[in-house]
Structure 1
Amino acid sequence: MTPLSARSETIFAYGFALLLGLALVLATFPLDFLLPQAGGPWAPQGDAAQHAIAQRYFLGDAWRWPPLHVANLLAPEGLNIAFADGIPLLALPLKALRDLLPAGFHGIGLWYAIAWVMQPLAAVWCLRAAGEKRLLPAIAAALAASAMPAFINRYGHAALTGHFTLLIGLGLYLRLVRHQSARLWLLAVLTSVGTLLVHPYLGAMALALLAAVPLTLLLRGEHGWFAAGLGVVACAGAVGATMAAFGYLGAKGDGGYGDFALNLLSPVWPWRSWFLGGLVGREIDATGHGGWEGYNWLGLGLLAGLLALLALTPRAVAHALRRHAGLAIVLLGLTLLAISFRIGAGTAAVLDLGPPPGFLEQFRASGRFFWPVGTALLVGTIALLARLPRLGIPAALLLGLVQFADAQPNRTAIASWAQTREPWSVDAPALRRLFAEADRLTLLPSWPCVTPPDTIGDHARQLQVLSLAAERPLPANTMYVARWRGERPRCDDAATLAAPLAPGELRLILPGARDAALATMPGAATACTPVGELLACRLTPR
């Protein structure tokens, strides 16, 4: 048989990755999930609802400065959609095209499709940067990357499915340590900014991978390290300028660095492994906050490939670590950051190093910082396996196939989540009619006034009410956000309840504020009527 030309192998490699990504999207996500419209009969849930609300309000608002500002959510102060994980990188072009989109459209489902298609494509691009350009190793990389458990397990949080940005960042590192050019550094700058606009956590990881370029060159004793350092400064400067221009600076969160950390056993803990999942009953956790954010099972294919490399060619592994010492140091630093100051192994905290520095409180879900490590291990393992004589390429392909098969329970779980159709817990048709007659919505209790544990369920009702209001979108007083500026928003519902209703205002009272509203709100007895478990209060309708 005549061997394929290099060009044909490239075309077939990217073609396979593209078809694989499209097939996985079609097999996993229903059409109404990918392309939502207003008036749906089912309610979005949890964080996915938060993200969809933010995007819908953003798409329905006028262009403002900063570009991510939404005036009608958290009115009158407004909201930066990045603080509600609204994926600005996608939201901005969608807003430019909003006149062509269906009423009530948002891009959260569409982002899943983009991420799942890009993941295998970016893996092939990254593997080629490692010098491996043959077809079968590329197929192995596409299969294995699409099956990385930490990637698949991001359902419910669309922005964080953007693991392909880490593959692009790693691919840029591999190209830049071999040859620097203005074009590559410009791509690195654009990648850094774009990844920030997907999610700040991913943006920080991408910058860390690029920072390994000058460190590796310096440790090799090569002169290009200084120019590479300037390139990293340009990337960091572009990210900082974007954060300033787009309103990111000054944001704060709930803190709690270490609450959602990487458990030392997590990379080898086979939760949702098709081959080994029966050995464990749940995610591993030593913090008491659950193991989801620290979930980093590497997959049986990758672990088997790593063990094979260490057994068959330890010198090649040691040589690769020396050649990429800067990257190894960066990955070690990210691992330590992921583990946090309270180190857990299994179900026990084995070491507590005390309070962390204050700036680390921004990284509450520190376990995520292991994602670039898993990405680098995957690409490096396939590249090194494929170089073994005779058995290398079959071994790399077997790694990809085993990794893909091992991830089946994770694929089943995300497909089940995407296909779930939860009914509205509020009277959606009645609320849509009320929203059509209102000029603004005051929803009580507001988000800061719903304190955990929320036994009444007002947090879930808030998201459902705001999901309905976002279909217009109707100006609303409150929103659940991941970050905010200044001090945490305070509960001032008592003052809001004490104020009389304004013309055009629809004041919706959830069960948690019902007693206070009936006792303190002027005219509550005549202005409020039940709508299911809610009270709808307004002056004479228009």
Structure 2
Amino acid sequence: MRDLSQRLSTTLSYAFALLLGAALAAWILPPEMLVPRAGAGFAPQGDAAQHAIAQRYFIGDAWRWPPLLAANILPPDGLNIAFSDGIPLLALPIKALRTVLPDGFHGIGLWYAIAWALQPVAAVWCLRGTGERRLLPAVAIALAASAMPAFINRYGHAALTGHFTLLVALGLYLRLVRASSVAMWAMSVVTAVATLLIHPYLAAMVLALLGAVPATLLLRGDRRWIGAAAALAACAGAVGGTMAAFGYLGAQGDGGFGDFALNLLSPVWPYRSWLLGAFAAQEIDATGHGGWEGYNWLGLGLAAGIVAVAVLVPRQVLGVLRRHAGLALVLAGLTAIAVSFRVGLGDAVVLDLGKPPGFLEQFRASGRFFWPVGLAMLVGTVALLARIPRIGVPLVLALGIVQFADAQPNRQAMRDWAQVREPWTVDAPALRRLLAEAGSVSVFPTWPCVPKPDTFGDHARQLQVLSLAAERPVPANTMYVARWRGERPRCDDAAALARPVAPGEVRIILPGARQAAMAAMPPANCTEVGDLLACRGR
């Protein structure tokens, strides 16, 4: 009878979590975002446009090596879609199924639904790794995890909503320090590699959490740490091998470690809190780059839960920290990386440690590294509170409900964003007609050459033209990338504009390049298309 009750509790826990995540995804995301098609009457915006363009070009290209290469954009080298945050883990199966999918389909909207559905499920699985298997604490953590502000607030960047991978990694840690197994470490390898194919930032965090396994065992004096260290090396090796095979190695970005760091007040700064938001009109920032990347408000439910744990069971907290000392050290290290070498407190930098080591320059948005810390706090707080006799379960339910309610402004902000239907600022019908007959499209200024006074104007126009070209997709000469291999792309538009327009080429001149184009190109075969100039080869 007890086994039946436990199985029922397990089934109901996961069912509630999955239904919660699916219901939230359905409420937030409109159908046309989940199943996009060519010919949309509205323009994709910002990073979401970049990600969709990358996926569409990749899906529409032939299979190549390395597997993530799209050769139909950024000639002669092509584009590795990982460098434009194209979520390879989802793009690869979509490409395999492209013949049965709608024209112009991409998986960026679908990924949001996957992330929202899996977030509470992964939280329940992680909590069960602590030994807490009852239904009501599972309901509480499902509610709270779906309402973590740092998770919800990533809606502008699809790949980075994959916080469920961090909960899976934390759940693996909890199981591996208790009883290692080949199967569990194999799952860890798969998790680490799959997370890399979502986003490298998340993969670095997953490896850090898995690295806490041998660290904790070593600090406990448990000789199993040697085997755990070997298994961790296998995980890291699998990630490194995947990076080599899939073309990640040698990538670099703009640098600037700490530009987008964690402010020391960020975890308690209640921006977009339903109950306390009046005290914080915007993100807290000391670096001058805005506080969005460092946004890590814990949520009112979790913040209150941490206070309750500290007051009601302080000895148990110290005991957990001793038993999981390796994890505590890893989380402290991730926090230090998130804070960066320029330590912000409120609107001031209170400590500047100077230039960081070169390898840290890969992590310009360092504030993200606090995400596993917040999730670990959530799991630990729920597990500890739930064990308090008589009042524990009501307390964790209150935590989950308050956390869920407090996150409503964040959920609404994401829903509003998903419902926006921005009009095209370019003449989409005319450009679609031109592109339907084109063998290739060249857009000027190219991404490295967008003039600074009009960065957002021409940058947005460029993304819109590429969004239209990607619907087929028409081979294109430029793309906005987050990372690149070798030196940063240089501006060489003058030489490219001086070349005659090739047969089948459509050359689209944005306002920022019109003067240079008129000086370098004969005006024949060029027509006005709204604010743009379209030139065709003979």
- TM-score range relative to shorter protein: over 0.9
Provide the residue aligned with 1:158 in structure 2: 158
Q: Distance in 2 between matches of 1:484 and 1:475?
A: 19
SS of the residue 1:198 aligns to: coil
Q: Distance in 2 between matches of 1:218 and 1:354?
A: 33
Q: What is the aligned counterpart of 2:534 among 517, 533, 536?
A: 536
Provide the residue aligned with 1:275 in structure 2: 275
Provide the residue aligned with 1:62 in structure 2: 62
The structure 1 segments of at least 4 consecutive aligned residues displaced by more than 4 Å after TM superposition are: none
When normalised by structure 2's length, the TM-score is 0.99
Shift of the 66–166 alpha-carbon distance from structure 1 to 2, 3 Å rule, reads: same
Shift of the 455–163 alpha-carbon distance from structure 1 to 2, 3 Å rule, reads: closer
CA contact (8 A) 1:461 1:510 kept: yes
Q: Distance in 2 between matches of 1:502 and 1:113?
A: 42
Q: Distance in 2 between matches of 1:535 and 1:48?
A: 26
Provide the residue aligned with 1:407 in structure 2: 407
CA contact (8 A) 2:212 2:330 kept: yes
Q: Distance in 1 between matches of 2:453 and 2:509?
A: 19
Q: Distance in 1 between matches of 2:353 and 2:231?
A: 35
Partner amino acid, structure 2, of 1:413: A
CA contact (8 A) 1:112 1:158 kept: yes
Q: Distance in 2 between matches of 1:417 and 1:499?
A: 41
Alignment map for 1:259-408 (pairs within 5 Å): 259-408=259-408
Provide the residue aligned with 2:511 in structure 1: 511
Q: Distance in 1 between matches of 2:140 and 2:6?
A: 17
Provide the residue aligned with 1:435 in structure 2: 435
CA contact (8 A) 2:343 2:351 kept: yes
Partner amino acid, structure 2, of 1:147: A
Provide the residue aligned with 2:221 in structure 1: 221
Provide the residue aligned with 2:416 in structure 1: 416
Provide the residue aligned with 2:12 in structure 1: 12
Provide the residue aligned with 2:125 in structure 1: 125
SS of the residue 2:67 aligns to: coil
SS of the residue 1:507 aligns to: strand
Q: Deviations over 1:367-418 (max 9, x none)?
A: 0000000010000100000000100011011100000000000000000000
Alignment map for 1:441-452 (pairs within 5 Å): 441-452=441-452
CA contact (8 A) 2:85 2:482 kept: yes
CA contact (8 A) 1:445 1:513 kept: yes
Q: Deviations over 1:144-195 (max 9, x none)?
A: 0000000000011000000000000000000000000000000000000000
Give 1:90 deviation, angstroms. Answer: 0.4
Give 1:518 deviation, angstroms. Answer: 1.1
Partner amino acid, structure 1, of 2:249: L
Alignment map for 1:487-498 (pairs within 5 Å): 487-498=487-498
Q: Distance in 2 between matches of 1:365 and 1:500?
A: 41
Partner amino acid, structure 1, of 2:62: A
CA contact (8 A) 1:10 1:135 kept: yes
Q: Distance in 1 between matches of 2:230 and 2:468?
A: 48
Partner amino acid, structure 1, of 2:390: R
SS of the residue 1:454 aligns to: helix
Q: Distance in 1 between matches of 2:519 and 2:237?
A: 54
Q: Deviations over 1:410-429 (max 9, x none)?
A: 00000000000000000000
Partner amino acid, structure 1, of 2:224: G
When normalised by structure 1's length, the TM-score is 0.98
CA contact (8 A) 2:255 2:362 kept: yes
Q: Distance in 2 between matches of 1:174 and 1:197?
A: 24
Partner amino acid, structure 2, of 1:116: W
Partner amino acid, structure 1, of 2:537: L
Provide the residue aligned with 2:243 in structure 1: 243
Give 1:455 deviation, angstroms. Answer: 5.4
Q: Distance in 2 between matches of 1:279 and 1:3?
A: 49
CA contact (8 A) 2:451 2:512 kept: no
Give the gaps of 5 or more residues in structure 1.
Answer: none
Give 1:453 deviation, angstroms. Answer: 4.2
Partner amino acid, structure 2, of 1:173: Y
Q: Distance in 1 between matches of 2:452 and 2:22?
A: 40
Q: Distance in 2 between matches of 1:489 and 1:477?
A: 12
Provide the residue aligned with 2:147 in structure 1: 147
CA contact (8 A) 1:147 1:407 kept: yes
Shift of the 301–3 alpha-carbon distance from structure 1 to 2, 3 Å rule, reads: farther
Q: Distance in 1 between matches of 2:536 and 2:303?
A: 61
Shift of the 4–135 alpha-carbon distance from structure 1 to 2, 3 Å rule, reads: farther
Q: Distance in 2 between matches of 1:392 and 1:281?
A: 34
SS of the residue 2:37 aligns to: coil
Give 1:451 deviation, angstroms. Answer: 3.9
Give the gaps of 5 or more residues in structure 2.
Answer: none
Give 1:3 deviation, angstroms. Answer: 11
Q: Distance in 2 between matches of 1:266 and 1:3?
A: 44
SS of the residue 2:448 aligns to: helix
SS of the residue 2:491 aligns to: coil
Provide the residue aligned with 2:524 in structure 1: 526
CA contact (8 A) 1:76 1:477 kept: no
Give 1:343 deviation, angstroms. Answer: 0.2
Partner amino acid, structure 1, of 2:157: H
Give 1:516 deviation, angstroms. Answer: 1.1
SS of the residue 1:18 aligns to: helix
Identical residues among aligned pairs (%): 73
Partner amino acid, structure 1, of 2:149: P
Partner amino acid, structure 2, of 1:259: D
SS of the residue 1:501 aligns to: coil
Partner amino acid, structure 1, of 2:158: A
Q: Distance in 1 between matches of 2:326 and 2:454?
A: 47
Give 1:501 deviation, angstroms. Answer: 1.0
